[in-house]
Amino acid sequence: MAEVVIVPDQATGGDIAARRIASLVHAKPDAVLGLATGSTPLPVWSALVALRLDLARVGGFALDEYIGLPEGHPESYRAVITREVVEPLGLDPALVHVPAEGLSANALAGAGEAYEAAIRAAGGVDLQILGIGRTGHIGFNEPGSSLASLTRVKTLAQWTREDNARFFDGDVARVPQHCVTQGLGTILRAGQLVLLAWGESKAEAVAAAVEGPVTASVPASVIQLHRDVTVIVDEAAGSRLRYADYYRQAWDQRPEWDRR
């Protein structure tokens, strides 16, 4: 079962996730992180900055990237990761990877394979940070994604493009239609998963992912197949969880040896 942590605010949740990363890096200074973009992980990065760790040897693999934005576009996930993660945390840009980088449109068919190979060559992702979409997507694995999928080109769902229009001056037409995303099978290979969600708009997706059946219709439900998952939600995002009382009890009473 996933460990579910219901926190009073995003800062507390970000701090818990940052401490997970800190203990990983303490044990393994060249650890590899799976990096999510979007608004959700921002409190994790700021909590991590505050811990002032030396992350110069830490590697990173972004979950996904848009197809079709001009190189250097500020909303490309390469640019977002550079601005929000690499620079503030002092990561080595040479160790941080984004899918399909530098590939021309007709080379995209091999982008998934190449990314999987790069992840393998780096020794795999040790800790994957995840947000969740309103539809239950993780990465850009929209409903219907194979639970065994690996990195590949996908078409973005219209509702995801609408959600992301806020990063493109509110103009959904400017949000790309395609992406390359790690698959659900790729995500399951990470050593541990930390999924975060804030706000009422995520409550239904969180409950379906954590407590619903494992189904491609709710891609995030695949986390139930992983042995080491922490789900960190604020009160609003956790408001539809049926077993919230038990999760709170389990967190408050977690054994001393399990306080990562």
Binding site for ligand PGA (CB under 6 A): 38-40, 131-133, 137
Measured from the CB of residue 40, what is the shortest distance to ligand PGA in angstroms? 3
The per-residue b/e assignment along 135-152, b for 16 or more CB within 10 angstroms, e otherwise, is bbbbbbbbeebebebbbb
- Least separation, in Å, of the C-beta of 108 and ligand PGA? 22
At its nearest, how many Å lie between ligand PGA and the CB of residue 32?
20
Nearer Cβ to ligand PGA, position 55 or 205?
205
**Distance from C-alpha of 91 to C-alpha of 59, rounded to nearest angstrom:** 8
Beta-strand ranges (E) seen in 27-72 are: 32-35, 59-62, 64-67
Q: Which is nearer to ligand PGA, 82 or 160 (CB)?
A: 160
- How near is the Cβ of 62 to ligand PGA at its closest, in Å? 12
Nearest distance, CB of residue 257 and ligand PGA, angstroms? 32
* Amino acid in position 20: R
Classify residue 201 by its DSSP letter: G
* Nearest residue (CB) to ligand PGA, 136 versus 185: 136
Q: Closer to ligand PGA by CB, 99 or 133: give it.
A: 133
Q: Look up residue 131 and give its two tokens.
A: 């947000």
Sign of CA pseudo-dihedral 148, 131, 141, 239: positive
Burial state string for 157-173 with b = 16 or more CB within 10 A and e = fewer than 16: beebbebbeeebeeeee
Instruction: Please give the residue whose beta carbon sits closest to ligand PGA in the complex.
Output: 38
- Nearest approach in angstroms of CB 110 to ligand PGA is 25
d(CA 196, CA 9): 12
Nearer to ligand PGA, 25 or 34 (CB): 34
Nearest to 126 by CA among 178, 174, 68, 55: 55
Range list of β-strands (E), the chain: 3-7, 32-35, 59-62, 64-67, 96-97, 127-130, 152-155, 178-181, 192-197, 229-234
Q: Is residue 183 classed as helix, strand or coil in its secondary structure?
A: coil
We find the least distance from the C-beta atom of residue 57 to ligand PGA, in angstroms, to be 27
Judged by beta carbon, residue 82 or residue 182, the one nearer ligand PGA is: 182
- The residue (of 14 and 25) whose beta carbon lies closer to ligand PGA is 14
